Amino acid sequence: MPEVVALGEPLVQFNAVTDGPLRHVTYFEKHATGTEANVCVALVRLGVSCGLITRLGADEFGLFIYNWLRGEGVDVSHIRFDPERPTGIYFVQRNYPIPGVSDVLYYRRGSAASALSPDDVDPDYVGGARVFHTTGITMAISDTARSAAFKGLEIARGKGVITSFDVNYRKKLWTRVEDAVNVLSRALNFVDIVFLDEDEASLLLGVSMVDDVFKELRSRFGIDKIVLKLGVKGSMAYWEGRVVKVDAFRVPVKDPIGAGDAYAGVFLASILRGHDVESAMRRASAAAAMVVMVRGDEENLPREDDLRRFLEGYGRQVD
Ligand code: KDG
């Protein structure tokens, strides 16, 4: 049984090779992505076994993702192929209209993974893990996928498996913001470790000052393992009574997509391998920095040796 079981939709990303509006972009790079799949690859690269529960289209893109994940060493035993529905895809438009921002254009409605349902969630598989991970994206893609995510969280909670949740609010995936707030808040009741950013905190909790965010999550949801991502300002955690701040690593950014997943995956891997919270945050920040230096969410996810070399070499002039 894998140490971590994740649930969610992998997607093929078509990332514009050149900047600017997509109407003028000719070349795209194809990458395997999707938030929970990214977390799985981050984990396995650091030697923590991870399995993904999902559905893929029985099509070329589904095979591409399946082979990629299998090649990385992710457990694919709970991936089902759906002959009726396509694998979800999206395009990335970079540095337009806002410099430094990547715009995401989804083509995923009716995808195979949007038909994920509670039937896909095997209680023995989830119950045999140390951590169950899912995100607010899975909660947004369809009613059945949301039910599957809640089933996973409930099983994990019932069997003493640590639940990890990245709020991952994606405005484009929700029809009404109130629905997002209701659903994501409900999910927080089942969560042991939460990852969120300042905007998500203010959306869900109505507060944005760090102390207030920690206080609200603890008092309203009983969560005592909180990781607040602050972008270029770094990250802060409330971890079983201790507050820790870690700076971000400043690197040349090619494409910021995937940074949060790199952070979550490497943070979880590090905690599971016995690092203290500060070390886990530093390693997670390094991984996030490495991922944004290239197009694609998973290619630059570090192995142990890559992390060591990044952390030792950061800030030094390379000849
Ligand atoms: O966190 C990166 C993901 O957002 C990206 O890979 C696409 O999973 C994705 C999504 O649903 O937006």
Report the pLDDT value the prediction gives residue 315, as an integer from 0 to 100: 80
Report the pLDDT value the prediction gives residue 288, as an integer from 0 to 100: 98
Whether ligand 1 lies within 6 angstroms of the CB of 34 is answered as yes
- Give the residue numbers marked as catalytic: 261
* C-alpha 33 to ligand 1 mean position (Å): 7
Q: Interface pTM (ipTM) of the complex?
A: 0.94
- Residue 142 clears pLDDT 80, i.e. is over it: yes
* C-alpha 173 to ligand 1 mean position (Å): 11
Q: Which atom of ligand 1 is nearest to the CA of 261?
A: 1
Q: Could you give the number of structural domains in the chain?
A: 1
Q: Whose CA is nearest to atom 7 of ligand 1?
A: 34
Q: Which two tokens stand for residue 243?
A: 């507050």
What's the mean pLDDT in 112-121? 98
How would you class 211 by CB atoms within 10 Å of its CB: exposed for 0-12, middle for 13-18, buried for 19 or more? exposed
Task: Count other Cβ atoms within 10 Å, centred on residue 170.
Answer: 16
Residue 81 belongs to domain spanning: 4-311
Whether ligand 1 lies within 6 angstroms of the CB of 88 is answered as no
What's the mean pLDDT in 277-289? 98
The answer to whether 261 and 284 have CB atoms below 8 angstroms apart is no
- Residue 318 clears pLDDT 70, i.e. is over it: no
Is the preceding peptide bond at 2 cis, omega within 30 degrees of 0? no
* C-alpha 13 to ligand 1 mean position (Å): 9
Whether ligand 1 lies within 6 angstroms of the CB of 102 is answered as no
Whether 127 maps to a domain, the answer reads: yes
pLDDT tier for residue 316 given thresholds of 50, 70 and 90: confident
130: domain CATH number is: 3.40.1190.20
Whether 263 maps to a domain, the answer reads: yes
Residue pLDDT, tens place only, 152-163: 999 999 999 999
Residue pLDDT, tens place only, 259-275: 999 999 999 999 999 99
Whether 162 maps to a domain, the answer reads: yes
Residue pLDDT, tens place only, 156-187: 999 999 999 999 999 999 999 999 999 999 99
Report the pLDDT value the prediction gives residue 317, as an integer from 0 to 100: 56
Residue pLDDT, tens place only, 32-43: 999 999 999 999
The answer to whether 116 and 148 have CB atoms below 8 angstroms apart is yes
Q: Whose CA is nearest to atom 4 of ligand 1?
A: 35
- What do you get for the CA distance between the two ends of the chain, in Å? 45
Q: Which atom of ligand 1 is nearest to the CA of 38?
A: 6
* C-alpha 183 to ligand 1 mean position (Å): 19
Residue pLDDT, tens place only, 215-263: 999 999 999 999 999 999 999 999 999 999 999 999 999 999 999 999 9
Whether 318 maps to a domain, the answer reads: no
Whether 255 maps to a domain, the answer reads: yes
The least confident of 36-50, 121-135, 198-212, 303-317 is 303-317
Q: Whose CA is nearest to atom 6 of ligand 1?
A: 34
What's the mean pLDDT in 290-303? 98
Whether 319 maps to a domain, the answer reads: no
Share of the chain above pLDDT 70, in %: 99
Residues near 33 by beta carbon (within 8 Å), at least 6 away in sequence:
10, 11, 12, 13, 257, 258, 296, 297, 298
Task: Count other Cβ atoms within 10 Å, centred on residue 109.
Answer: 10
Whether ligand 1 lies within 6 angstroms of the CB of 137 is answered as yes
Q: What is residue 231's DSSP assignment? A: G
pLDDT tier for residue 204 given thresholds of 50, 70 and 90: very high
Report the pLDDT value the prediction gives residue 208, as an integer from 0 to 100: 86
Cα 169–chain centre separation: 11
- Residue 111 clears pLDDT 60, i.e. is over it: yes
Share of the chain above pLDDT 90, in %: 98
